[in-house]
């Protein structure tokens, strides 16, 4: 076992970890940085996976958070294809799948999340894909090279982004969704209706209110998707996008509190002052929304990483931001600020027919979220209003020519 005076170990080498290393170097962290990732890749960005990378418009190297040369820095020890198996908090070390024991002065858990897998009959047939990493997309792309009929299970962001890419590539696409509208977990019925029309116009078949009974197959390969309506939709390829589960086991096994995510304070520290957690695997306290949040977004991963890196370099940053997110489908960019759950009023700005409009969500008069569709100005200006708990006049809010920033009362 090596002995070191100061060493941060990062468990997981995804988007948050990549930002963490970058900020640690930028802030001149004086110790060693050991980055341990089970994937064969240096930290990379996942959003393009279901967008430009799936469409074949981006090389894998372009996904990297930092170019490979960045990791040649002698202060950085990047160990790929290696899994952190356990944490010994008393001894301040981690054990890895290649049989090593690595000491830390501080540990950052950045293990992200994994896809939720289906267990209905036929789930292990070939030709059924999930989408989380580069290999997943490479396999889908190989499948699409010969497949004509694609069935997507789940009409969330990922399912719909895949539908958009595949439809534009000329595939016959059907999306099967249990809820009665698309993206029902995150957007208003009006927004769902807009996206349903958009996809149908592009030739995508949406089977809403439809559960999944089983996958049909022949010779070990999927041939269809059997729905709760008793219908079997023929499929040459299936992509499942039904949500994720945070990778909390490493923390839980080390006795750290987990509550739908690794519990962290406003400095992204766990209950152990030498163990931090960042990104998809965390549940943090939100002053703005008054509860514990587990977010699945790049912004959350990047900002939490910056907070931890800054604090490890002697700073005093706290994390409490208005969340934001985006989704690209066809030529439509959806940008979401805030969390709309619990809204009691929506106000539409602009006309969906123009393919540029926003939907503002209010709770007891307070602005809590906005969905901006090809409306970047509303997206930019909404953040400050939501953070300030603004109570805009609904009538003026409904006028798309009134800039949001003028409604900050």
- Judged by CB under 6 A, the chain residues 317 through 356 that form the site for ligand FAD are 325-327
Residue 279 makes contact with ligand FAD by CB under 6 A: yes
> Of the two residues 60 and 398, which places its CB atom closer to ligand FAD in the complex?
60
> Of the two residues 83 and 391, which places its CB atom closer to ligand FAD in the complex?
83
- Applying CB under 6 A, among 186, 187, 212, 250 the residue interacting with ligand FAD is 250
> What single DSSP character describes residue 131?
-
Q: How far apart are the C-alpha atoms of 336 and 330, rounded to whole Å?
A: 17
Sequence-ordered strand ranges (E) for 50-124: 76-80, 84-88, 93-96, 101-103, 106-109, 113-115
- Judged by CB under 6 A, the chain residues 42 through 61 that form the site for ligand FAD are 46-47, 49-50
> Of the two residues 299 and 348, which places its CB atom closer to ligand FAD in the complex?
299
**Lookup: tokens for 383:** 């953040």
Q: How far apart are the C-alpha atoms of 269 and 154, rounded to whole Å?
A: 34
**Lookup: tokens for 293:** 């949040």
> Of the two residues 49 and 151, which places its CB atom closer to ligand FAD in the complex?
49
- Applying CB under 6 A, among 9, 10, 11, 165 the residue interacting with ligand FAD is 11
Residue 164 makes contact with ligand FAD by CB under 6 A: no
> Of the two residues 34 and 206, which places its CB atom closer to ligand FAD in the complex?
34
- Applying CB under 6 A, among 160, 301, 372, 404 the residue interacting with ligand FAD is 301
**Lookup: tokens for 242:** 């039904």
> What single DSSP character describes residue 218?
E
Q: How many residues bind ligand FAD (CB under 6 A)?
A: 36
Question: 């090389």: which residue's tokens?
Answer: 59
Question: 């766990």: which residue's tokens?
Answer: 270
Residue 298 makes contact with ligand FAD by CB under 6 A: yes
> Of the two residues 233 and 305, which places its CB atom closer to ligand FAD in the complex?
305
Residue 163 makes contact with ligand FAD by CB under 6 A: no
CB of 83 to ligand FAD, least distance (A): 4
> What single DSSP character describes residue 52?
T
> Of the two residues 184 and 299, which places its CB atom closer to ligand FAD in the complex?
299
Residues 6+ apart with CB under 8 A from 198: 329, 330, 332
Buried b or exposed e, range 198-222, using 16+ CB within 10 angstroms: bbeeeebebbbebebbbbbbeeeeb
Residue 38 makes contact with ligand FAD by CB under 6 A: yes
> Of the two residues 162 and 225, which places its CB atom closer to ligand FAD in the complex?
162
Residue 159 makes contact with ligand FAD by CB under 6 A: no
Residues 6+ apart with CB under 8 A from 371: 187, 188, 191, 334, 335, 336, 340, 358, 359, 361
Residue 110 makes contact with ligand FAD by CB under 6 A: yes
Q: Which residue is nearest to ligand FAD (CB)?
A: 14
Residue 210 makes contact with ligand FAD by CB under 6 A: no
Percent composition of the chain: helix, strand, coil (DSSP 3-state, to 5) = 25, 30, 45
> Of the two residues 172 and 296, which places its CB atom closer to ligand FAD in the complex?
296
| Binding window for ligand FAD (CB under 6 A); candidates: 5-13, 55-63, 186-194, 263-271 | 5-13
Residues 6+ apart with CB under 8 A from 341: none
Binding site residues, ligand FAD, CB under 6 A: 11-17, 36-39, 46-47, 49-50, 83-84, 110-113, 131-132, 158, 247, 250, 279-280, 296-299, 301, 325-327
């Amino acid at each position: 076992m090596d002995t070191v005076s100061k060493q941060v170990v990062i468990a997981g080498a995804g988007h948050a970890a990549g930002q963490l290393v970058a900020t640690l170097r930028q802030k001149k962290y004086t110790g060693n940085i050991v980055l341990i990732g089970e994937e064969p890749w240096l930290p990379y960005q996942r959003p393009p996976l279901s967008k430009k990378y799936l469409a074949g418009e981006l090389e894998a190297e372009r996904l990297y958070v930092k170019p490979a040369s960045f990791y040649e820095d002698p202060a950085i020890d990047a160990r790929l294809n290696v899994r952190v198996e356990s944490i010994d908090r008393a001894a301040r070390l981690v054990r890895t799948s290649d049989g090593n024991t690595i000491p830390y002065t501080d540990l950052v858990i950045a293990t992200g999340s994994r896809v939720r897998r289906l267990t209905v009959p036929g789930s292990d047939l070939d030709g059924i894909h999930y989408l989380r990493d580069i290999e997943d997309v490479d396999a889908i792309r190989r499948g699409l090279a010969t497949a004509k009929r694609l069935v997507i299970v789940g009409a969330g962001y990922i399912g719909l982004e895949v539908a958009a890419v595949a439809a534009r590539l000329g595939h016959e696409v059907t999306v099967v969704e249990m809820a009665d509208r698309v993206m029902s977990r995150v957007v208003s019925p009006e927004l769902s209706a807009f996206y349903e029309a958009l996809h149908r116009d592009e030739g995508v078949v949406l089977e809403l209110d439809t559960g999944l009974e089983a996958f049909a197959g022949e010779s070990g390969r999927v041939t269809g998707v059997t729905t709760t309506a008793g219908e079997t939709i023929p499929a040459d390829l299936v992509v499942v996008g039904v949500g994720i589960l945070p990778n909390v086991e490493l923390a839980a096994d080390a006795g750290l509190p987990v509550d739908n995510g690794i519990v962290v304070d406003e400095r992204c520290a766990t209950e152990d002052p030498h163990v931090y957690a960042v990104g998809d695997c965390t549940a943090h306290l939100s002053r703005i929304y008054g509860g514990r949040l587990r977010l699945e977004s790049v912004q959350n991963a990047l900002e939490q990483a910056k907070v931890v890196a800054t604090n490890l370099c002697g700073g005093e940053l706290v994390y409490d931001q208005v969340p934001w997110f985006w989704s690209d489908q066809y030529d439509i960019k959806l940008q979401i600020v805030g969390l709309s759950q619990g809204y009691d009023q929506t106000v539409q700005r602009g006309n969906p027919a123009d393919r540029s409009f926003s939907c503002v969500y209010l709770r007891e008069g307070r602005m809590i979220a906005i969905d901006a569709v090809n409306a970047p100005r509303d997206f930019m200006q909404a953040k400050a209003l939501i953070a300030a708990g603004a109570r805009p006049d609904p009538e003026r809010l409904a006028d798309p020519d009134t800039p949001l920033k003028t409604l900050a009362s």
